[in-house]
Every structure is written in C-alpha cells, then in structure tokens.
C-alpha cells in the first residue's frame, strides 16, 4: 500500500462477520475496540510478520491491473483474522478490453448502469479491478476474507478533469465485491486524498473508513477515530510502529 507521507447501485447486501470482528452491526467492519493489528503486502515479502489481533493483506502490487502480491498466499495464511485490501485507480487506458484491463463481462454489466457513456466505462473499470483482484485472491487461498478494503490514494492514476469518473470507478469496485462476496467493504484513505479524488460525491455500499495518518507515534491515534472522510464510521486508524504499518481499532 502506498502510504500517506511515504503508504451505482448496490448489487448485494453485506453480511456481518466474526473472528476478531464483533457481530454488533450487520454490514459493519467492527473490530474489537482497542485492539491493534497490522497491514502488509509485497514490500514485506520475506520479513518476519508483526504481531496483532488482526491483519490486512494487500492483494495487488501497488497499482490495479499491473501485477500482484507474490507473497499473498503466505501472508494471508499467517495473518490472524485476515482481511485484504486492493489497489484502485482510473485511467482511460483501463477502459480497453484487451485481456489486461476491462473485462468483457464488466463491460456488458456496465450497460445497465446509470450515467454517461464515460461514466459507465469507468464503472466497468472498477468492476474489472475488483474481478481481477478477487480472482487472484481466490487463486492464493484468500478469496473468503473477513472484509475487503479499497486503497484509495492520490499516488495512483485518477481523473483530474472529471471526478465523477473516479466515483464511478470506485462504485464499480464496491458493487462487484458485494455482488460476489458476503464480506463487507471499507475504504482506506485520508480526508485530503478522498476529496481530491471524488470531491463531495458519495459512494454507496461501503460501510467503514480506515484512516491513514503517517504518524510514527500512537499519540493522537484515538482522536482520529472521529475523523471520517467519507461519512462512514471510522473503524481503523493506521500509524507506524517499528517501521511497519500498525492499525488501531476504534472504540466507537
């Protein structure tokens, strides 16, 4: 996951999950309050994994469609109460049905989505990002995670001239994950990055925020639990601990 300072229509109902997650809200990524975990991906291949009550493992290799985390199978198998995250982005190149980007299935599904032709194409991009990431996760034994998190950051490609294309892309990811999986969906970002990418537009179907801080100290982490960027409850706050990403589960 690229780190801060370094890291259309809902198609399915979201089911609640157990393990280190509390079944106290249907469809909410509600981690045990006050617990800590970690997130890892391809940069952590070959290192000793950190400890924690839960973990979130990256599926992709930093960008959608490009390459995937070669250590996903091992990292996921060794992670307690594991969820996964996928990288996201929009680029006109991604709308090509070329065997690497937009899938034919998602292109067909986008014909039933609302919006302009460009917005429907963006929805198909998101649908394809989800489809390809889910296929890889399944091939690595990570196809049934405790939750799906979307890594939404300015470091990846996005439209700067029409933010609705970014919104439709993210919506396509969420819709596809919810249609194909019973696990809930949350979003990882910051207030600045979220506004830069989607503006004030809403994405439906996601149920939780995971806020990146870039802080090397735990001080102030709990206060960030009230800093929602999308309007969803903040469930996790990310900070740095011993050079790795640590995540705090909010109490409210």
User: What does the pLDDT profile of the chain (252 residues) look like in tens digits?
Assistant: 644 433 433 333 323 223 333 332 334 576 899 999 999 999 999 999 898 999 999 999 999 998 899 999 999 999 999 999 999 999 999 999 999 999 999 999 999 999 999 999 999 999 999 999 999 999 999 999 999 999 999 999 999 999 999 999 999 999 999 999 999 999 999 999 999 999 999 999 999 999 999 998 888 899 999 999 999 999 999 999 998 999 999 987
Does the reported pTM lie above 0.85?
yes
The answer to the question of residue 89 being in a domain is: yes
Provide the pLDDT for residue 16. Answer: 28
Is 117 among the domain residues?
Answer: yes
90 within domain boundaries: yes
Q: The domain spanning residue 73 has which CATH number?
A: 3.20.20
Q: Is residue 240 part of a domain?
A: no
Rounded Cα distance, 145 and 140, in Å: 12
**Does the residue 76 lie in any domain?**
yes
Q: Is residue 122 part of a domain?
A: yes
So what's the pLDDT on residue 216? 87
Structure tokens, 165: 């294309």
Beta strands in the chain (DSSP E): 36-40, 55-58, 82-87, 148-151, 185-189, 208-212, 234-241, 244-249
**Domain extent at residue 102:** 36-209
**Tokens 């937009």 appear where?**
102
Instruction: Give the pLDDT score at 1.
Output: 63
Domain count, the chain: 1
pLDDT, position 10:
36
At residue 83, φ and ψ (nearest 5 deg) are -115, 175
Please indicate, yes or no, if residue 13 is contained in any of the structural domains.
no
The beta-strand segments (E) located in 163-212 are 185-189, 208-212
Q: Is residue 21 part of a domain?
A: no
């Amino acid at each position: 996951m690229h780190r801060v300072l370094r890291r259309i229509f809902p198609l399915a109902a979201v089911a609640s999950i157990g393990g280190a997650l509390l079944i106290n809200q249907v469809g909410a990524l509600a981690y045990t309050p006050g617990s800590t975990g970690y997130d890892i991906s391809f940069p952590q291949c070959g290192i000793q994994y950190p400890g924690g009550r839960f973990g979130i493992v990256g599926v992709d290799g930093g960008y959608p469609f490009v390459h995937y985390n070669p250590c996903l199978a091992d990292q996921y198998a060794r992670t307690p109460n594991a969820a996964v995250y996928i990288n996201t982005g929009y680029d006109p190149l991604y709308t090509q049905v070329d065997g690497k980007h937009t899938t034919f299935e998602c292109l067909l599904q986008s014909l039933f989505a609302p919006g302009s032709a460009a917005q429907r194409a963006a929805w198909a991009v998101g649908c394809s990002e989800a489809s390809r990431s889910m296929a890889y996760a399944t091939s690595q034994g990570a196809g049934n995670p405790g939750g799906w998190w979307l890594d939404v950051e300015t470091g990846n490609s996005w439209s700067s001239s029409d933010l609705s294309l970014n919104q439709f892309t993210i919506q396509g990811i969420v819709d596809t994950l919810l249609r194909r999986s019973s696990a809930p969906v949350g979003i990882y970002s910051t207030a600045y990055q979220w506004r830069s990418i989607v503006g004030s537009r809403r994405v439906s179907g996601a149920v939780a925020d995971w806020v990146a801080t870039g802080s090397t100290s735990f001080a102030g982490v709990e206060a960030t639990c009230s800093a929602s960027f999308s309007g969803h409850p903040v469930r996790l706050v990310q900070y740095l601990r011993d050079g790795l990403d640590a995540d705090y589960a909010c109490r409210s």
